[in-house]
Amino acid sequence: MKFFLDTANVAAIKTINELGVVDGVTTNPTIISREGRDFETVIKEICEIVDGPISAEVTGLIADEMVEEARSIAKWHKNVVVKIPMTTEGLKATNILSKEGIKTNVTLIFTVSQGLMAMKAGATYISPFIGRLEDIGADPYQLISDLREIIDLYDFQAEIIAASIRTTAHVEAVAKLGAHIATIPDSLFAKMTQHPLTTNGLKTFMEDWASFKK
Residues 6+ apart with CB under 8 A from 178: 144, 145, 148, 160
Element (H, E) at 23: none
Nearest to 124 by CA among 143, 89, 145, 99: 99
**In this predicted model, what pLDDT tens digit does every residue of 139-170 receive, in sequence order?**
999 999 999 999 999 999 999 999 999 999 99
**In this predicted model, what pLDDT tens digit does every residue of 23-75 receive, in sequence order?**
999 998 889 999 999 999 999 999 999 999 999 999 999 999 999 999 999 99
Active-site residues: which are they? 83
Q: Cα 32–159–153 angle (5° rounding)?
A: 155
Instruction: Tell me what the mean pLDDT of segment 164-186 comes to.
Output: 97
pTM of the model: 0.94
d(CA 144, CA 175): 10
Three-class SS of residue 24? strand
d(CA 162, CA 118): 15
β-strand pairing of 2-6 with 181-184? parallel
